Amino acid sequence: MPSPSLDDFMAFNDQLTALVRADVPLGLGLGTNGDAAAATLEKVNAGVARRVSRGESLADAIGDEPTAPAPYRRVMQAGWRSGNVQAALASSSRLAEAAADNRYRARAAFFYPALVAILALLGATAFARFVVPTLIGVYQEFRIADSPTLRLIESLPTTLPWIAAIVVVALIASLLVWLIRRHAPVADAADNRQPSRGANSSGPEFQRRLANGCEQLAELVEAQVPLLESLPLAAEACGEPSLIAAAGAYAVASAQQNAAELQRAMLRFPPFLRWALWQPDESIDRVAALRIAAQVYRDAADRHVERTRLALPMIACIVLGGGATLLYGLLLFLPITNLMQSLAAE
C-alpha cells in the first residue's frame, strides 16, 4: 500500500469538515460548528505542512502539531501510522455516537416518570383548590376537634400551588439548559474528556474505549509497527487513562529489561486484552486475537447499555411517578379516612 501523502491528509481533513457540517459525531475535538472546524483544520494543515517540509514524517508531524485538538492528534497519529485512518476515524466516531446515544436514552428514560409526577402534582393542586375547602367545611359542620390532618389540609391551598410552580419552573429551566448546551458550539461528545476510572472500570464507556484501543492496536500490529510503539499509540487514540498508564509502564519495564517489572506492567492491562497481546492460542495470531477482544469488549458495553435502558425507566418511574402518585393518594384518602373515624367515634 502506498504511503499516505500530505495531499491525502489535507483531502481527508476536508472530509472531516464535511462530516462536522453534517452533524456526524467524530470525537476528535473539532466541535459541532462546521465553520469553526474548517478554520481549525486549516491551521492544522498549515502547521503539518511546515513540519513535513522540514523532514518530519506525516504521523509524527500530526502527533506534535500544537494547533490540533488533543483527541484529533491522538486518533490521526495512530491512523496515519497504521495506514488505515478510516478505521481509526470509525472507532472514534462510534465512541462519540455511543456517548451521545447514552445521554439521549438517559434523558428519555425520565420523560414518562416526570410526566406522571407532573400530572399527579397538578391533580393534587386541583384537589387542594376545589376539594379541600369542602372537606374543611365538613369538619367544621360536624365540629370535629382540631387534629394534625385538619391542619395539613388547611395548609394545602397555599402550599401546593407554590410547590407545583417550583417543580414546573425547575423542569423548564432544565429543558432550557439542555437546549442551550445542545446548540452551543462546544466540543462533540467524548472529545476532551479523560474520565477517571476506578470503581466504574466495567462501565460501557470504559468497555468501548477498550474496544477502540484493541481495534487501533490490531491495525498498528498488522501494519508491522513494533508493539512497544503500537501500545502507547493505540492507548492514546482510544483515550482510556488506565490503558495509557499501563502502556507507559510496559514501555519503561521493557527499556529496563526487568522481568519482574515487565510482568507487573503486563498485569495492569485488562485480562482479555492481556490474553490477546501475549497469550493467544496457537491457532490464532495477535491481530485476530485483538479483533476478537475488541468485539468482546463492544458486546459487553452493548449488554450493559441494554440492561441500563431497561432498568433506568422502571426505577425512575417507581421513584418519581410512584412517589407522586402515593402523595396524591394520601392527600385524597387521609382526610376522608380521618373524617370517617371521627364520625364513627362520636
pLDDT (tens digit per residue) in 27-54:
777 777 778 888 888 888 888 888 888 8
Q: Kindly state the cell numbers that stand for 240.
A: 482510556
Q: Does residue 180 lie in a domain region?
A: no
What's the total number of domains in the chain?
1
How many other β-carbons are positioned within 10 Å of the β-carbon of residue 239? Answer: 25
Q: Kindly state the cell numbers that stand for 305.
A: 447499555
188 confidence band (pLDDT: 50, 70, 90):
very low
What's the whole-model pTM score? Answer: 0.62
Q: Does residue 82 lie in a domain region?
A: yes
Q: Does residue 341 lie in a domain region?
A: no
Owning domain of residue 10: 6-98
Distance CA 277, CA 293 (A): 10
Q: Does residue 199 lie in a domain region?
A: no
Distance CA 17, CA 92 (A): 15
pLDDT in tens, 126-154: 777 777 787 777 777 777 766 777 777 77
Q: Does residue 311 lie in a domain region?
A: no
- Burial annotation 126-155 (CB, 10 A radius, 16+ → b, else e): ebbeebbeebbeebeeeebeeeebbebbee
Residues contacting 290, CB < 8 A, separation 6+: 214, 215, 217, 218, 221, 273, 276, 277
Q: Does residue 318 lie in a domain region?
A: no
Q: Does residue 17 lie in a domain region?
A: yes
Q: Does residue 120 lie in a domain region?
A: no
Is 60 exceeded by the pLDDT of residue 120? Answer: yes
- Burial annotation 224-236 (CB, 10 A radius, 16+ → b, else e): ebebeebbbbbbb
Confidence (pLDDT) at 294: 84
Distance CA 110, CA 235 (A): 35
